Amino acid sequence: MSSTITQAPAEIPAKREISTKPRLSDRVFRGVVTSGGLSSLVILGLILIFLLFNGYSTLKSQGLHFLTSSNWQAAVNDAGQFDAKNSHFGIAAMLIGTMIVAVIAVIIGVPISVGAAIYLTFYAPAFVKRVMVSAIDLMAAFPSVLFGLWGFFVLESSGEYWAKLINKFFSWIPIFQLPAPYVNRSPFIAGLVLAVMIIPIVTSISREIFSQTPLDRIQAAYALGGTRFAMLRAVAFPYARSGIVGGIMLGLGRAMGETVAVYTVLNIVYQVNWHILFSAGGNVASMILLKFGDASPYEIKALMAAGLVLFILTLIVNSLANLIVARTGKSGR
Amino acid sequence: MSIESADNQGDEMETTIQKSSLSDISAARAQKQPGSNALGVGLEARGVHAWFGEKHVLENVSLDFWPGSVTALIGPSGCGKSTFIRTLNRMHEFIPGAAMAGEVLLNGEDIYAAGVDVTKIRLKVGMVFQKPNPFPSMTIAENVLAGLKLAQLKVEKKDELLEECLERAGLWSEVKDRLNTHGGALSGGQQQRLCIARALAVRPQVLLMDEPCSALDPGSTLRIEETISQLSSSVTIVIVTHNMQQAARVSDYTAFFLSDGGPGQMVEVGSTNDIFSRPKDQRTENYVTGRFG
């Protein structure tokens, strides 16, 4: 056998380059979609540059204090000019307030959203599903100022009762304590309004991912004598988990960036406040809105810096989300 | 491990598991022939019809399944055999718009009776699907025991059950060193045997197999057919297959289904030998001799 193949060992050829000549129409289309895809990146980059350019001077003069202090004073000297030395800009209260309000929104909004998604995917009759899906889509398109007004006039009054109730029974937990008996316009109420606002996006993303649960796995769970609840736990949740996390992060992003609704509802105070039921809070975006109208040119630069910080915070949260999605893994998929 | 030793081990286990029903089976086989009356123990379909929406897909099928036997359902595509098998554990109603008429009796009781807990029916009548469908988020061991978790059953000796089920499904020797790895890494045939092990873990009386080998290569098919033979003395097996040789190899009884454009009907049922060597109906003969289908 071997004697027949004892010729000189065949030379291993170099790897060939495999290519194809694309048609003109293909190239044109490729160019169109590429520019479309890159334009969002370009716009984002330009905004970042704009914020950096305008906010840099404030960040430089304030240094780390911009993140750690809660002082916002644009000093003016005797000549009526901006006095950089005596001005203090710090957004610690606003940053912490942003996180607090957003986290409250997620804690309240996500269980409702995931519950709604499960109901719509696995329980609701077809016509209920149709009606509810369009109602939720409508809710997503609802102007946020209307949520703010509704929160201000409706949630404030009923929220006051809930806040007192929570304070009465849970005041042993520090965040539910009240330094003074003022419960209106608190981070708690703002969180409630934001919860309502993130429900549509989290619901529709969760519903989408639940509805993609592979039918054969669902059948397998039922065929093993599983109830619907058991099927959800064994099949639908592992499958949808990473997608739901992604939806939550989108909701969190919206809650952190929300401006008008929070501005309408929240009592913005330049002091770090961990007591979520107490009438004092903050939110970077609504602070910018609050200050923008009568800000001096120098103060506007500080607001730009605040915007930059919010931008970076959102970026960090999103990257964290991607990390979590990667970690919770595709194992259930 | 050789196939023979697997056989022996399987037999030992089966005798301990279903000692009482084994004697019933032989008695039943001695007394009864297919098509006669209820056995009292086992699975019986009585005048089963099925619809999808307005479409009548299955007409008046009455068929008894002997405890401890393998019954093959054969017939061309669209003859209603898969629909029929799914009426036997109430997976039929899972499809929107599905309806049925008639009765399916398990141990003499109608599984479609009002107030019956469908999850309990499916525990007694297990199912293996056409496409292997292990749970990818679970390990091999977790997959096998998934039914216990799903049905919230408590078991004392999980490890023993795990080994027993994998052994009976003919998979133990191949996976015993990697029970805690994920099931998705197995080959198609191994995945299907994992699904069989998973179905066995809740100790069903009946195992429905809906074309279990159609997505598998010949080697895996052979392995699963061996598994079916090993199981047949302890579990009643109903298998839908497109492969007539497979029906001839694994089954004790064969039922031939056919649709003439309308709803599918059962043309003929009998011992597999009879169906393949001297069918009563001309259409059956045409099908099993390969003249159509």
Instruction: State the DSSP string of A140-209.
Output: HHS-HHHHHHHIIIIIHHHHHHHHHHHHHHHTTSGGG--SSS--TT-HHHHHHHHHHHHHHHHHHHHHHH
- pLDDT classification of B215: cutoffs 50, 70, 90: confident
pTM attached to this predicted model: 0.80
Q: Which of B89, B119, B199 sits opposite A226 (nearest CB)?
A: B119
Q: Which of A216, A219, A224 to mutate to test the interface with B (most CBs of B within 10 A)?
A: A224
* Structural domain includes residue B91: no
Q: How far is A291 from chain B (nearest CA, A)?
A: 51
A222 and B91 in contact by Cβ < 8 A?
yes
B152 and A331 in contact by Cβ < 8 A?
no
For residues B293 and B243, is the Cβ–Cβ distance under 8 A?
Answer: no
| Residue A104: closest CA among A189, A185, A180 | A189
What is the distance between the alpha carbons of residues B175 and B134, in angstroms, rounded to a whole number? 14
**B-chain residues near A123 (CB < 8 A):** none
> Closest-CA residue in chain B for A330?
B137
The pLDDT of residue B39: 38
Distances (CA, A) of A282 to A118, A176, A224, A315, B167: 34, 17, 52, 20, 63
| Residues in contact with A80: Cβ distance below 8 Å, sequence separation at least 6, in sequence order | none
Q: Which of B91, B135, B136 sits opposite A223 (nearest CB)?
A: B91
Which domain does B135 fall in, by range? 3-33+68-86+116-288
A220 and B195 in contact by Cβ < 8 A?
yes
What is the distance between the alpha carbons of residues B119 and B90, in angstroms, rounded to a whole number? 9
**B-chain residues near A220 (CB < 8 A):** 129, 133-135, 195, 198
Q: Which of A217, A219, A331 sits opposite B91 (nearest CB)?
A: A219
Average pLDDT over residues B235-250: 90
Greatest Cα-to-Cα distance within chain B, rounded to the nearest angstrom: 54
The pLDDT of residue A198: 94
* Candidate ranges A80-89, B29-38, B208-217; pick with highest mean pLDDT: B208-217
H-run or E-run covering B118 = helix B118-124
Q: Which of A219, A224, A227 sits opposite B147 (nearest CB)?
A: A224
What is the distance between the alpha carbons of residues B36 and B52, in angstroms, rounded to a whole number? 29
Q: Which of B120, B129, B202 sits opposite A220 (nearest CB)?
A: B129
Q: How far is A228 from chain B (nearest CA, A)?
A: 9
- Cross-strand bridge partners of residue B104: B45
Which residues of chain B form beta strands (DSSP E)? 43-52, 55-65, 70-74, 98-106, 109-110, 125-128, 206-210, 236-240, 253-258, 265-271
A225 and B150 in contact by Cβ < 8 A?
yes
Q: How far is A265 from chain B (nearest CA, A)?
A: 43
The pLDDT of residue B94: 85
The pLDDT of residue A333: 57
* Structural domain includes residue B244: yes
**A-chain residues near B129 (CB < 8 A):** 216, 219-220, 223
Q: How far is B280 from chain A (nearest CA, A)?
A: 35
| Residue B14: closest CA among B172, B225, B196, B233 | B233
Which residues of B165-264 form beta strands (DSSP E)? 206-210, 236-240, 253-258
Q: Point out the residues of chain A with pLDDT beneath 50.
A: 1-2
Per-residue pLDDT tens digits for B192-212: 999 999 999 988 989 999 999
What is the distance between the alpha carbons of residues B16 and A65, in angstroms, rounded to a whole number? 77
The pLDDT of residue B22: 42
The pLDDT of residue A331: 52
> Closest-CA residue in chain A for B91?
A223
For residues B131 and B215, is the Cβ–Cβ distance under 8 A?
Answer: yes
The pLDDT of residue B230: 85
pLDDT exceeds 90 at position B260 = no
The Cβ of residue B109 has, within 10 Å, a number of other Cβ atoms equal to 11
**A-chain residues near B117 (CB < 8 A):** none
**A-chain residues near B198 (CB < 8 A):** 220, 224
| Residues in contact with A90: Cβ distance below 8 Å, sequence separation at least 6, in sequence order | A62, A65, A66, A67, A68, A69, A70, A71, A72
What is the distance between the alpha carbons of residues B29 and B25, in angstroms, rounded to a whole number? 6
pLDDT exceeds 50 at position B16 = no
pLDDT exceeds 70 at position B271 = yes
pLDDT exceeds 50 at position B14 = no
For residues A287 and A304, is the Cβ–Cβ distance under 8 A?
Answer: no
What is the distance between the alpha carbons of residues A275 and A258, in angstroms, rounded to a whole number? 21
Q: Which of B122, B137, B138 sits opposite A224 (nearest CB)?
A: B122
Q: Which of B94, B120, B195 sits opposite A225 (nearest CB)?
A: B120
Per-residue pLDDT tens digits for B61-78: 999 888 888 999 999 988
Q: One-letter amino acid identity for B106?
A: L
**B-chain residues near A219 (CB < 8 A):** 91, 94, 129, 133
| B180 part of contact set with chain A, CB < 8 Å | no
Identify the CATH number of the domain defined by range A93-328: 1.10.3720.10
Indicate which CATH number applies to the domain containing B21: 3.40.50.300
**A-chain residues near B134 (CB < 8 A):** 220
Structure tokens that stand for B193 in this block: 């045997």
| Residue A235: closest CA among A224, A246, A251, A221 | A221
The pLDDT of residue A36: 93
B182 and A217 in contact by Cβ < 8 A?
no
| B152 part of contact set with chain A, CB < 8 Å | yes
* Residue with tokens 């008996």, as numbered in its chain: A181
The pLDDT of residue B12: 42
Q: How far is B238 from chain A (nearest CA, A)?
A: 15
The pLDDT of residue B251: 92
* Residue with tokens 């008008």, as numbered in its chain: A260
* Structural domain includes residue B169: yes
Reduced to 3 states (helix: H, G, I; strand: E, B; else coil), residue B44 is strand
Radius of gyration of chain B (CA): 18
The pLDDT of residue B293: 61
- Does the complex come out with an ipTM higher than 0.85? no
**B-chain residues near A231 (CB < 8 A):** 150
The pLDDT of residue B34: 44
**A-chain residues near B197 (CB < 8 A):** none
The pLDDT of residue B41: 56
Reduced to 3 states (helix: H, G, I; strand: E, B; else coil), residue A6 is coil
Q: How far is A107 from chain B (nearest CA, A)?
A: 26
Domain ranges for chain A, please list them.
93-328
Q: How many domains does chain B have?
A: 1
What is the distance between the alpha carbons of residues B169 and A220, in angstroms, rounded to a whole number? 17
The pLDDT of residue B256: 93
Q: One-letter amino acid identity for A53?
A: F
Distances (CA, A) of A219 to A194, A236, A281, B126, B129: 38, 11, 49, 11, 9
Per-residue pLDDT tens digits for B120-179: 899 999 999 999 999 988 899 999 999 988 888 888 888 899 999 998 888 898 998 999
For residues B183 and B135, is the Cβ–Cβ distance under 8 A?
Answer: yes
| Residues in contact with B159: Cβ distance below 8 Å, sequence separation at least 6, in sequence order | none
B150 and A224 in contact by Cβ < 8 A?
yes
**B-chain residues near A230 (CB < 8 A):** 149-152
* Structural domain includes residue B157: yes
Q: How far is A331 from chain B (nearest CA, A)?
A: 5
The pLDDT of residue B140: 93
| Residue A222: closest CA among B112, B238, B47, B123 | B123
| Residue A268: closest CA among A202, A186, A204, A329 | A186
The pLDDT of residue A218: 92
The pLDDT of residue A322: 81
The pLDDT of residue A4: 56
> In this predicted model, which residue has the larger pLDDT, A236 or B292?
A236
> Closest-CA residue in chain B for A239?
B137
For residues A224 and B89, is the Cβ–Cβ distance under 8 A?
Answer: no
| Residue B36: closest CA among B231, B207, B253 | B253
Q: How far is B273 from chain A (nearest CA, A)?
A: 31
pLDDT exceeds 70 at position B1 = no
| Residue B169: closest CA among B209, B124, B139, B218 | B209
The Cβ of residue A83 has, within 10 Å, a number of other Cβ atoms equal to 15
What is the distance between the alpha carbons of residues A115 and A207, in angstroms, rounded to a whole number? 10
| Residue A215: closest CA among B133, B93, B82, B118 | B133
pLDDT exceeds 70 at position B40 = no
For residues B43 and B104, is the Cβ–Cβ distance under 8 A?
Answer: yes
> Closest-CA residue in chain B for A227?
B119
